């Protein structure tokens, strides 16, 4: 069995955290490939090493003395090395970094050095081989990730390494120019490595014990999700749940590799298993509830709308020509409502309304702003009667007025529209009815 393990910045912020990570990796001989992030914050007032590197490079770019800042960064890494009682010197590495900063090697190069140096420390600490991500993660000449070439190079390289550390967050073009991932960071690298070595499991270690049914900033101590499918995860992430970025999921999803979200500070917790499909029923009818504020509902009315061929296309064209994408579009016989991001819509409001009048000739257009959309997601909803009724009941008891409800044909999710002011109350009410009371 092969496991790829990725550790986030908080998991590697100090020598103490490094020691925990070492125990976790050594505790399972199947954890063969390790993807580390740069050291994160040690406490709330601390600064991430990546941010320190950005600040340092900005001084270099401005022809200012950046050496004192670089010494602080070196001190962070030396604290980890000394705290682990390791015999390792990064002097030569920092000389190279200083030289490259002076020659203005680029912001991506600067930002990547945190992962690079942490990778060197991790490889020495574990006795694993170090593989520089710049040698195996390939970007094309436009700076776009080249998945096909990367998979070919990385697969061949990993065949020669029984155990290895591959830093996250960056790769390089063919000419060696370092490029970082814009979103998802080290999570993406871990996913790419898992695909390349055809891993049985991709473990993503962070500072939380997996995904939660609801946002802990809204619901006190929400229950953890034990198993979630990629489709459910995508629905929840799209509606604002902070889990894994879509780019970090795609490589392993395509390869059918499950992801296990685990907690470095509570390694005994099972965490959340993210899978392609499962016959395991979820503990609750819903898998999760998430949402976003800041939407506008554009209500368009016209008598006999249902008999006018192409009416919907004409309305949507008004948004398209103004560069606005829509989120949801519930409709009736003589009405259709388009939900769009308020921030995106506000500056082009009158242009869109004029375009709708010109293209579709509606009877009435009405706008309602300051709305929130909430997604109730769960594979268990399909086989459970009365889910929508329970949502309405819960919201009614909480005195929340429902502005819109929209259910997809897959029955995997139900979208509810409420006012921004009712957003938190609605989330709590839905969580309570499905998780706390489980009526």
- pLDDT tens, position by position, for the chain (439 residues)? 999 999 999 999 999 999 999 999 999 999 999 999 999 999 989 999 999 999 999 999 999 999 999 999 999 999 999 999 999 999 999 999 999 999 999 999 999 999 999 999 999 999 999 999 999 999 999 999 999 999 999 999 999 999 999 999 999 999 999 999 976 678 899 999 999 999 999 999 988 888 889 998 999 999 989 999 888 888 887 776 666 766 778 888 888 999 999 999 999 999 999 998 887 777 888 899 999 999 999 999 999 888 899 999 999 999 999 999 998 888 888 999 999 999 999 999 999 999 999 999 999 999 999 999 999 998 878 777 888 888 989 999 999 999 888 876 667 889 999 999 999 999 999 999 999 886 4
Domain identity same for 203 and 292: no
Residue 89 inside a domain? The answer is yes
Let me know how many helices (H) and strands (E) the chain has, helices first.
15, 15
pLDDT of residue 439: 47
pLDDT tens digits, residue range 359-398?
A: 999 999 999 999 999 999 988 787 778 888 889 899 999 9
Domain identity same for 157 and 305: no
Residue 217 inside a domain? The answer is no
* Last residue within a domain, chosen from 180, 207, 234: 207
pLDDT tens digits, residue range 387-410?
A: 888 898 999 999 999 988 887 666
Return d(Cα 339, Cα 371) in angstroms, integer: 9
Domain identity same for 192 and 293: no
Domain identity same for 328 and 180: no
Domain identity same for 183 and 295: no
pLDDT of residue 118: 97
Q: Give the closest residue to 124 by CA, choosing from 199, 189, 34, 204.
A: 34
Domain identity same for 163 and 42: yes
pLDDT of residue 184: 62
Q: For residue 225, what is the DSSP state?
A: P
pLDDT of residue 438: 60
Residue 7 inside a domain? The answer is yes
Residue 214 inside a domain? The answer is no
- Secondary element (H or E) of residue 301: strand 288-301
DSSP 289-342: EEEEEEEEEEEEE-TTGGGSTTHHHHHHHHHHTTT---SB--B-SSEEEEEEEH
Domain identity same for 201 and 299: no
Residue 241 inside a domain? The answer is no
pLDDT of residue 65: 95
- Secondary element (H or E) of residue 292: strand 288-301
Q: Which domain holds residue 352?
A: 288-436
Q: How many domains does the chain have?
A: 2
Domain identity same for 193 and 334: no
* Last residue within a domain, chosen from 181, 207, 233: 207
pLDDT tens digits, residue range 421-431?
A: 999 999 999 99
Domain identity same for 292 and 202: no
- 188: tokens are 């993406």
User: Whole-prediction pTM value?
Assistant: 0.84
Return d(Cα 90, Cα 77) in angstroms, integer: 8
Residue 253 inside a domain? The answer is no
Domain with residue 300: its CATH number is: 3.30.2130.10
pLDDT of residue 207: 84
Residue with tokens 């049914």: 213
pLDDT of residue 248: 77
Residue 254 inside a domain? The answer is no
The CA distances from residue 102 to 49, 74, 89, 106, 414, in Å, are 19, 17, 22, 10, 54
* Last residue within a domain, chosen from 184, 207, 230: 207
Domain identity same for 191 and 293: no
Domain identity same for 181 and 302: no
Residue 33 inside a domain? The answer is yes
Domain identity same for 176 and 293: no
Domain with residue 54: its CATH number is: 3.40.1160.10
């Amino acid at each position: 069995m092969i496991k790829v393990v990725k550790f986030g910045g908080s998991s590697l912020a100090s020598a103490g955290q490094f020691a925990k990570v070492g125990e976790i990796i050594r505790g399972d001989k199947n954890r063969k490939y390790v993807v580390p992030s740069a050291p994160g914050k040690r406490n709330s007032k601390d600064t991430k090493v990546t941010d320190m590197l950005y600040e340092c490079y900005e001084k270099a770019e401005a022809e200012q003395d950046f050496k004192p800042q670089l010494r602080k960064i070196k001190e962070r890494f030396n604290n980890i090395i000394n705290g682990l009682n390791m015999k390792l010197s990064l002097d030569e590495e920092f000389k190279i970094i200083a030289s490259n900063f002076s020659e203005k090697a680029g912001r991506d190069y600067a930002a990547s050095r945190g992962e690079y140096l942490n990778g060197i420390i991790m490889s020495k600490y574990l006795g694993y081989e170090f593989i520089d991500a710049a040698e195996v993660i390939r970007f094309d000449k436009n700076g776009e990730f080249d998945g096909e070439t990367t998979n070919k190079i990385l697969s061949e390289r990993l065949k020669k390494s029984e155990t290895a550390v591959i830093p996250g967050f960056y790769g390089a073009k063919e000419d060696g120019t370092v490029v970082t991932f814009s979103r998802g960071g080290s999570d993406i690298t871990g996913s790419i490595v898992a695909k390349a070595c055809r891993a049985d499991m991709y473990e993503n270690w962070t500072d939380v014990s997996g995904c939660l049914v609801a946002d802990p900033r809204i619901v006190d101590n929400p229950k953890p999700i034990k198993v979630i499918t990629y489709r459910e995860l995508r629905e929840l992430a799209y509606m604002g749940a902070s889990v894994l970025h879509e780019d970090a999921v795609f490589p392993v999803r395509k390869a059918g590799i499950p992801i296990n979200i685990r907690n470095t500070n509570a390694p005994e917790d099972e965490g959340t298993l993210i899978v392609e499909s499962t016959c395991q029923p979820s503990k609750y009818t819903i898998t999760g509830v998430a949402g976003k504020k800041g939407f506008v509902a554009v209500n368009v009315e016209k008598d006999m709308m249902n008999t006018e061929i192409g009416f919907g296309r004409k309305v949507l064209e008004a948004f398209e020509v103004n560069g606005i994408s829509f989120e949801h579009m519930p409709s009736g016989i003589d009405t259709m409502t388009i939900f769009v991001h308020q921030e995106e819509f506000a500056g082009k409001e009158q242009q869109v309304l004029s375009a709708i009048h010109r293209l579709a000739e509606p009877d009435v257009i009405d706008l309602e702003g300051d709305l929130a959309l909430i997604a109730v997601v769960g594979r268990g909803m399909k086989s459970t009667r009365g889910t929508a009724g329970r949502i309405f009941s819960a919201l009614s008891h909480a005195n929340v007025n429902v502005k819109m409800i929209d259910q997809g044909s897959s029955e995997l999710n139900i979208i509810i529209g409420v006012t921004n002011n009712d957003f938190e109350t609605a989330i709590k009410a839905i969580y309570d009815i499905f998780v706390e009371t489980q009526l």
